[in-house]
Amino acid sequence: MNRYKGSLPKIGIRPTIDGRRLGVRESLEEQTMNMAQAVKALFESEIRHADGSPVEVVIADSTIGGVAESAACAYKFERENVGVSLTVTPCWCYGSETIDMTPGVPKAIWGFNGTERPGAVYLAAALAGHTQKGIPAFGIYGRDVQDSDDRSVPEDVQEKLLRFAKAGLAVATMRGKSYLSLGYVSMGIAGSEVDSAFFQNYLGMRTEFVDMSEVKRRLELDIYDKEEFEKALAWTKENCKEGEDPNPELELVGADEEACVVTGANGLATARRSEAGSTTHRRNDEEKEEIWKTCVKMALIGKDLMIGNPKLEELGYGEEALGRNALAGGFQGQRQWTDFMPNGDYMEAILASSFDWNGPRQPFNFATENDSLNAVVMMFGNLLTGTAQMFSDVRTYWSPEAVKEATGKELEGSAKNGIIHLINSGPSALDFTGRQRVNGEPAVKPFWELDEKEVQDCLDNTTWRAGVEEYFRGSGYSTEFYTEGGMPITMSRVNLVKGLGPVLQIAEGHTVELDDDMNRTLADRTNPTWPTTWFVPRVTGKGAFTDVYSVMANWGANHGAISYGHIGADLITLASMLRIPVCMHNVPDEKVFRPSAWNAFGMDKEGADYRACENFGPLY
């Protein structure tokens, strides 16, 4: 179900044809329309929107032989909310008379590789026209010659068609949506300095700024659905099991609260008070009950702020019921909130997961510490795959030598050359426990493919531990889990560079598992209450992928977004549509698919990407 304002974008197919009548056009009508129908069937069988809805494909009312029919097609596509445009043809057509000139809509052309009519010649001529006019388009041309009556779509053509269509739909879906900034800069993290110009010019999105006091107001005035709260709280009590409290015990000595000792995990007694004057200690059961209630209410409020809730209008809060039409968002939390209120870990983890108390549902792209640039790549990954995305600190590179020194054991298998510790300060999507299955292997699946057992397995393998009050003085609950090994994953990140603009980083690899003792020893050195994923990127022996250490050393920020599967090629295609150059990736050359105009900017593909993006400028 589409939870955002407006209709979902559609894919439009433009069957172009040689306009000469009295024999030529007539002989090509059936073949041309068959190409369009074959692609329509492919898209409808293989692509869904991120909300699970099947994609709708619109074909022009007639083949397009000249400018009048091009205009008629453009008018139809505008009425039908077409956000992605594909032209198909088996033959020569009149180039600039038949190409799609609509600005801002991703475009591609499939020119049939046949010998009877020169489809490849039109493809080349039309792409040259697109490049000359500054309207980049993707060129698709099969490797093998096909017979004119062959209605199949070759595998290599299918791969490019699907990559283009998925990326194009992501572009169209972002347009007009919002990024919701709950609070602003967290602990000086640059990514939480939300850049409205970047969102507007590159993504076509608004930025909505809401102070965290709005969350406090809704908590105090009970501005949330109370029936849903009771349902959510009961579900949480049943499914979110508490782990060991990491906070020290507190003993009062005499009647004066000033005279207290805290017994730490090592058994030593130390006196401790926070700067605010409240003692850091383990909360009692009554306090924890209230903290859980606040955490659950915050999750409801966060969701309502993102997409609205008609139930709030029934409570007399019509404005609040509307929401912010936010496709992505983030919560500042630290420190102005977490120094006195329960942290946002439960809210962030549950919103980012593909299920909650209402069952499986579309994940929210919701970032810790309001890191908007990490939220952007979470959004990219979700729109391309339909799956939940994991927000992580790219925390530590562990060399084989350092691991042996710390644990007395050696890394083995795919981890033998070192690992990267992905861990977030409290929340991550519960899907990344890795307890879902595809062909019997650990996976993260789109929410519409989840079954009850997979949801329950994710919950059963997650422990909720009280927030460490050295960090979170207002307490809260953080997720502890360990991701199963053997999952293909892609880590990505957008960074902003003064004078250059946004750049994208991509690292494909796999998760690995360590034995229990090794895992516990290494994870506990950081924080035992936070979710851990051990990552081994695929190395190439060159540049930023010389080895595992090089990947860590070249990563451009403290955070990364992790998506299930190797989606680096899809991200590269999407980035080229938005004019965001890729500064680091380990995607094989044969998988890189960008507009044909990029070929005119030099033979070094990555340098050409930078020059083309600068030349054509942001999409909006």
> Is 570 assigned to a binding site?
no
> Is 348 assigned to a binding site?
no
3-class DSSP assignment, residue 87: strand
Alpha-carbon distance of 365 to 378, in angstroms, equals 6
Point out the catalytic residue in the list 369, 508, 570, 609. 369
Alpha-carbon distance of 547 to 540, in angstroms, equals 7
Burial class (CB in 10 A: 0-12, 13-18, 19+), 620: middle
Bridge-based pairing state of the strands 355-356 and 326-331: unpaired
Alpha-carbon distance of 283 to 292, in angstroms, equals 12
Q: What are phi and psi of 315, to 5 degrees?
A: -85, 0
Q: % helix / strand / coil in the chain, to the nearest 5?
A: 40, 20, 40
Q: How many beta carbons lie within 10 A of that of residue 359, not counting itself? A: 12
Lookup: tokens for 402? 């350092």
- Angstrom distances, CA of residue 140 to CA of 10, 46, 152, 155, 294: 20, 18, 15, 12, 53
- Angstrom distances, CA of residue 436 to CA of 217, 455, 477: 38, 8, 24
For residues 572 and 579, the answer to whether their CB atoms sit within 8 Å is no
For residues 560 and 493, the answer to whether their CB atoms sit within 8 Å is yes
Alpha-carbon distance of 583 to 509, in angstroms, equals 17
For residues 412 and 418, the answer to whether their CB atoms sit within 8 Å is no
Residue 336 identity: Q
Alpha-carbon distance of 494 to 575, in angstroms, equals 10
Burial class (CB in 10 A: 0-12, 13-18, 19+), 164: buried
> Is 559 assigned to a binding site?
yes
Lookup: tokens for 165? 């269509």
Point out the catalytic residue in the list 56, 208, 393, 469. 393
**Is residue 393 flagged as an active site residue?**
yes
Query: What residues act catalytically?
Result: 369, 393
Residues forming the annotated binding site for Mn(2+)?
369, 393, 559
Annotated binding site: 369, 393, 559
